[in-house]
Amino acid sequence: MRRQVVIIGSGPSGLLLGQLLHRIGIDALILERSSKEHVLSRVRAGVLEEGTVGLVRATGLAGRLDAQGLRHDGIEFAFDGQRHRIDLHELSGGKRVVVYGQTELTADLMAGREAVGAETVYEAADVMPHGFDTDTPYVTYVHGGVTHRVDCDFIAGCDGYHGISRRAVPAGAISTFERSYPFGWLGLLAEVPPVSHELIYASHPRGFALCSMRSPTRSRYYVQCDGDEKVENWSDQRFWDELRRRLPADAADAVTTGPSFEKSIAGLRSFVAEPMRFGRLFLCGDAAHIVPPTGAKGLNLAASDVHYLFEALREFYGERSAAGLDAYSPRALARVWKAVRFSWWMTLLLHRFPDASPFAEKLRATELDYVTTSRHAAAALAENYVGLPY
């Protein structure tokens, strides 16, 4: 079997790249180690930058996103019992974000791929890229007990932090940069209306909290917890009580409680692998970088990687130029590191660190006051939150 591009991983980045390539006639096969049902069961964030929305529209599959996505012109910071609104739309020169669940986006991209007959192999075991440092790369995998080989021009590693793509790179060819944070986010999903029509980021002596949503009737809430906390220690009632303690009184009174249908704890870390290209293997999304969810950048960074790689492949096949491929890693990493910086800053600004000194806490409180009272500081936040240009 031969394809022009083999994409490893059918998360949003792999599906988005596959659909964009299909639209311009580039033959791409997607290999996914999990089942389709498992991929669709993953609960992830859903704050989309305008650039991400634009890429989805370019696939021709933005119908549900445009109809059901919640357009947000601002966010709120809550601390010292008060709520402070950051007007993203006004401060960024007319940009906004759209809240649309990553699971919904994945479902849209899957359905679009199936509708045009583009091939995705689910439950592909032992996927392995080979020869990517040569002009004749190929990928092997096992499906239905049979080993398959796919020769190709390029391999796109969109298979996440734990995937094979980055691990297939020789250790001496890659550098990694990482920071782990001493806490996690305990998240709860419930079929209840959100407390507010915009996200509330709350900083409280008991820890961070976030009020978010997936739709007008489905809410997603988070509270900061210890890094070694166990989800089974948290009943729904305990979660709701803790969330309300960390919110200003008017927001706490507006919280509608109800039974959860998903509850989980996610650790927070920053991670970057450099470079993002190894011969004819290109890393995209979580395979190359992880950011704390505080800045809502994970999915959006994956989308910007897809943008750069898609443009490079279109240039290669359309103009026989490798300039875009050669520029992929430095272009992607320049934007990645800016998002890493912003997510790190947001995390420091809003969370309680267990080893923070009184001096550090005073600085953090001063920074919160500054960013909510200075137009220039708020504008810098807005510029980064809505997404830096590609």
pLDDT in tens, 331-355: 999 999 999 999 999 999 999 999 9
Nearest CA-CA partner of 309 in 293, 296, 326? 326
Q: Which of 181, 308, 328, 385 is catalytic?
A: 385
Q: Are 208 and 184 in contact (CB under 8 A)?
A: no
Residue 89 is among the residues annotated as catalytic for this protein: no
Is the pLDDT at 276 greater than 70, yes or no?
A: yes
Q: Where are the beta strands (DSSP E) in 146-216?
A: 146-151, 154-157, 175-190, 200-202, 209-215
**What are the pLDDT digits (tens) for 81-138?**
999 999 999 999 999 999 998 999 999 999 999 999 999 999 999 999 999 999 999 9
What pLDDT does residue 79 have? 98
Q: Residue 275: is the preceding peptide bond cis (ω within 30°)?
A: yes
Q: Are 194 and 153 in contact (CB under 8 A)?
A: no
**What are the pLDDT digits (tens) for 235-273?**
999 999 999 999 999 999 999 999 999 999 999 999 999
Q: Tell me the two tokens of residue 91.
A: 């401060």
Q: Which of 141, 201, 308, 328 is catalytic?
A: 201
Residue 200 is which amino acid? I
Torsion, Cα 97 371 193 45, to 10 degrees, reads 50
Distance, in Å, from the CA atom of 354 to the CA atom of 133, rounded to the nearest integer, reads: 45
| SS3 (DSSP) at 376 | helix
Distance, in Å, from the CA atom of 343 to the CA atom of 324, rounded to the nearest integer, reads: 27
Q: Which of 141, 293, 307, 328 is catalytic?
A: 293
What pLDDT does residue 121 have? 98
What pLDDT does residue 249 have? 98
Distance, in Å, from the CA atom of 16 to the CA atom of 7, rounded to the nearest integer, reads: 11
Distance, in Å, from the CA atom of 155 to the CA atom of 283, rounded to the nearest integer, reads: 9
Q: Which of 12, 22, 72, 289 is catalytic?
A: 72
Distance, in Å, from the CA atom of 312 to the CA atom of 342, rounded to the nearest integer, reads: 26
**What is the DSSP code string of 291-342?**
--GGGS-HHHHHHHHHHHHHHHHHHHHHH---HHHHHHHHHHHHHHHHHHHH
Residue 204 is among the residues annotated as catalytic for this protein: no
What pLDDT does residue 46 have? 86
Q: Tell me the two tokens of residue 59.
A: 């696939």
**What are the pLDDT digits (tens) for 136-178?**
999 999 999 999 999 999 999 999 999 999 999 999 999 999 9
Q: Are 285 and 13 in contact (CB under 8 A)?
A: yes
Q: Tell me the two tokens of residue 137.
A: 């790369």
Distance, in Å, from the CA atom of 159 to the CA atom of 111, rounded to the nearest integer, reads: 19
Across 185-213, average pLDDT = 97
Residue 287 is which amino acid? A
Q: Which of 22, 95, 289, 297 is catalytic?
A: 297
Q: Long-range contacts: 343-349, Cβ < 8 Å, 24+?
A: 343/270, 343/291, 343/292, 343/293, 343/294, 343/295, 343/297, 344/179, 344/270, 344/291, 344/292, 345/295, 346/201, 346/292, 346/294, 346/295, 347/181, 347/268, 347/292, 347/294, 347/295, 349/203
Across 293-322, average pLDDT = 97
Residue 148 is among the residues annotated as catalytic for this protein: no
Q: Maximum CA pair distance of the chain?
A: 63
Distance, in Å, from the CA atom of 365 to the CA atom of 243, rounded to the nearest integer, reads: 20
Residue 181 is among the residues annotated as catalytic for this protein: no
Is the pLDDT at 43 greater than 70, yes or no?
A: no
Q: Are 72 and 199 in contact (CB under 8 A)?
A: yes
Domains, in order of start, for the chain: 5-73+98-178+269-347 (3.50.50.60)
Residue 390 is among the residues annotated as catalytic for this protein: no
